[in-house]
Amino acid sequence: MAQSSPVPAASDGGLCEEFAVPSQVEEVRRLMAEFAERHDAGGRRVVLITSGGTKVPLESRTVRFLDNFSSGRRGASSAEYFLDSGYAVIYLHRHRSLYPYTRLYTGVNLLDSLRLEPGEGEGGSGRVLVDQAELQNVAAVLKRYQAVKTAGLLLPVEFNTLSEYLHLLKAAAQALNSIGSNAMFYLAAAVSDFYIPASEMPEHKIQSSNGPLQISMKMVPKMLKPLVKDWAPQAFVISFKLETDPSILLERARRALDIYNHQVVVANVLDTLRGYVVIVTKTTQHELTLTDDDVQKGIEIEEKIVSNLSAAHTEFMNR
């Protein structure tokens, strides 16, 4: 694939012209603003978590697309720990990526974990029994899930394409601006750096009979800059930095802090992302590691990340 020119699109200037506005954006903005204001009035902090990879279409009637690596596990598990810590959570996630609580059962074949209670007739007594060994801790997880649902503490918002992600993130930032430093942005989604403008995209499926494919892609506008500067300037903002080469990780994280002027970068390397991250600020750098002992106890690295960042958020609000 040909490398595109390194000229980035200016700030978010071209957002509406270059990226189709999703039809639901105004309705979602209203829901997010209401959610944030209700919880803020009740004395709760609100975190906007982004999670999952963005889909970048290569054709208008899309058969092929580019995706970024992200299962959504980081975002989904972090959402649970933020809820446990008293936050209300807006969960802006890729459609069908991992979701808080249900993520614990994605590897399970649901039908294998259920049994019919014996009884007369073809379907036994008609009652279905859960195999606790297959669906581990299901009662405890269900209790946490239902408590969150009843209290209205989790607002799910879905995206699929890069365009949807960009518009919904902007709407979320503007919706949370009214609650000032009570808002946290936890930007764990894996967002494409490249896209094909609608005007340059073929309408129909690209034909292999035309020979090898060469694609030229433009730079995606960096949303972090206007988010920090204009849309939610008082919020506590955390971005994630993913690299495959550990030797450039910290330099890239620091660079992001310098350019965007936000509060924290959580730096991780693809090979070790479940067991090691570095929490980087302009003046500090703190390694979080999962030990064998932690793994034995079922502790996840997101629990440590969330505990570190909610303490940093408290300090930020008190300043």
Longest CA–CA span in the chain (Å) reads: 72
Q: Whose Cβ is closer to ligand 9Z3: residue 19's or residue 35's?
A: 19
Distances in whole angstroms, Cα of residue 8 to Cα of each of 15, 20, 164, 200, 254: 13, 19, 19, 17, 20
Please, what is the minimum distance in Å from the beta carbon of residue 142 to ligand 9Z3? 23
CA distance 217 to 195: 5
Q: What share of the chain is helix, strand, coil (3-state, %, to 5)?
A: 40, 20, 40
- Give the residues lining the site for ligand 9Z3 (CB under 6 A): 68, 70-74, 188, 190-191, 239-242, 268, 273
Please identify, using beta-carbon distances, which residue of 87 and 186 lies nearer to ligand 9Z3: 186
State the nearest-atom distance from the C-beta of 165 to ligand 9Z3, in Å.
11
| Token output for 252 | 């890239």
Closer Cβ to ligand 9Z3, 77 or 177, answer by number? 77
Quick one: 72 or 100, whose CB is closer to ligand 9Z3? 72
Q: How far is the CB of 70 from ligand 9Z3 (least distance, A)?
A: 4
Nearest CB to ligand 9Z3, comparing residues 57 and 75:
75
CB of 255 to ligand 9Z3, least distance (A): 10
| Shortest Å distance, C-beta 172 to ligand 9Z3 | 15
242: part of which helix (H) or strand (E)? strand 236-243
* Helix ranges, the chain (H): 15-18, 25-41, 73-84, 138-150, 162-176, 224-226, 249-260, 292-296, 301-318
- Pairing relation of β-strands 183-187 and 46-51? parallel
